[in-house]
Amino acid sequence: MKKASILMIIGVSFLLGLFNFPLWNIVLGAPQYPEPLGMNIHIDGIRDMNEFDLQNIDGLNHYIGMRKLPKPEEMWEFSVFPMVIGGMIILGILVGLLGFLGKVDYKWFIGWFMIMSILGVLGMYDFNAWMVDYGTNLDPNAIMKLANPDGTPMSYKPPLFGHAKMLNFDVTSLPATGAWMMFTGMMLTIIAFFIGKSAKKATVKKHVVTAIKVKTNDK
């Protein structure tokens, strides 16, 4: 269980990466942008991939009537996400420590993992909802109003995952370092759960054997 608890603490610690590395990365390349523009989505705000990228993306987006990319203070997510992640890290490390001291068992590890997964899915859902709003809720006085072949107004929601062609831009949206660190860390917590589980089984077996031995000696 000690080994499992240490792994739990290490796994949870990987989430600290989210405070430094971007969670998601969206890259926009076009013929006249051989060096693509890009934005890094961090848990506390959207930042340039290269200096001035956000300003230049906003500059291009104004043609099609998209709002400016949100500043951290303009979206509640960017103040809540760091608190949620921070809280989960504290909780996870606490669970790991208590496991190390034998106060809680391995089931708490999977419990933490499940809460984190649910929060993750909610986060993705929220992120996607924002992108839908951002890409479809356009200024009615936009300079360029384009329609799909079926006559519906064209929308510009970036893909949540993968590549999409939007006008002259190739947009690629993929998880970035922070997300990969979170993924790795969460996998480690699952491994911690299984190690804890098998260690428990072994201990039970040992206890049973000892008990039988004691009984035999009594005879």
Asked if 29 touches another protein (CB under 8 A), the answer is: no
> Could you tell me which stretch among 54-62, 97-105, 123-131, 149-157 binds another protein (CB under 8 A)?
54-62
Give the nearest distance from C-beta 53 to another protein in angstroms. Answer: 9
The mark string for 56-95 relative to another protein (x by CB under 8 A, - otherwise) is x--x---x--------------------------------
Give the nearest distance from C-beta 147 to another protein in angstroms. Answer: 17
> Could you tell me which stretch among 10-18, 51-59, 95-103, 187-195 binds another protein (CB under 8 A)?
51-59
Rounded to the nearest 5 degrees, what angle is found at the Cα of 184, between the Cα atoms of 100 and 28? 150
Site for another protein in 162-181 (CB under 8 A): none
Q: How many residues bind another protein (CB under 8 A)?
A: 9
Give one DSSP letter per residue of 60-85, joined into a string: HHGGGTPPPPPPGGG-THHHHHHHHH
| Binder among 3, 20, 55, 146 for another protein (CB under 8 A) | 55
Task: Measure CA of the first residue to CA of the last residue in the chain; give whole Å.
Answer: 34
Question: Could you list the residues that contact another protein (CB under 8 A)?
Answer: 35, 51-52, 55-56, 59, 63, 143-144
